[in-house]
Amino acid sequence: MRIILLGPPGSGKGTQAELIQKKYGFPKISTGDLLRRAVREGTILGQEAGVQMNRGELVSDELVAAIVKEKVSSPECHRGYVLDGFPRNLAQARILEKIERDRLETALEIVIGEEMLLERLTTRRSCIRCEAIFNQKARPPKKEGICDACGGKLIRREDDSPEVVKERLRVYQEQTEPLRAYYQARKIYHGVDGSTDVVTVFASVASIIDRELAKLGREFS
Ligand code: AMP
Give the model confidence (pLDDT) of 34-63 as tens digits: 999 999 999 999 999 999 999 999 999 999
User: What percent of the chain has pLDDT above 90?
Assistant: 85
Contact 131, 33 (CB under 8 A): yes
* pLDDT mean over 16-26: 96
Q: What pTM does this model have?
A: 0.91
Domains and CATH numbers, the chain: 2-26+79-112+168-220 (3.40.50.300)
Residue 221 pLDDT level (bands cut at 50, 70, 90): very low
Is 111 in a helix, a strand, or coil? strand
CA of 219 to the centre of ligand 1 (A): 34
Compute the distance between CA of residue 181 and CA of residue 197 in angstroms, rounded to an integer: 26
User: Does the structure show a pLDDT above 70 at 24?
Assistant: yes
Average pLDDT, the chain: 93
Measured at the CA of 62, the angle between CA 54 and CA 114, to 5 degrees, comes to: 45
User: Does the structure show a pLDDT above 80 at 152?
Assistant: yes
User: Given this model, what pLDDT does residue 131 score?
Assistant: 87
CA of 31 to the centre of ligand 1 (A): 6
User: Given this model, what pLDDT does residue 218 score?
Assistant: 67
Buried b (16+ CB within 10 A) or exposed e, 190-199: bbbebeeebe
Residues labelled as active-site residues: 13, 88, 124, 157, 168
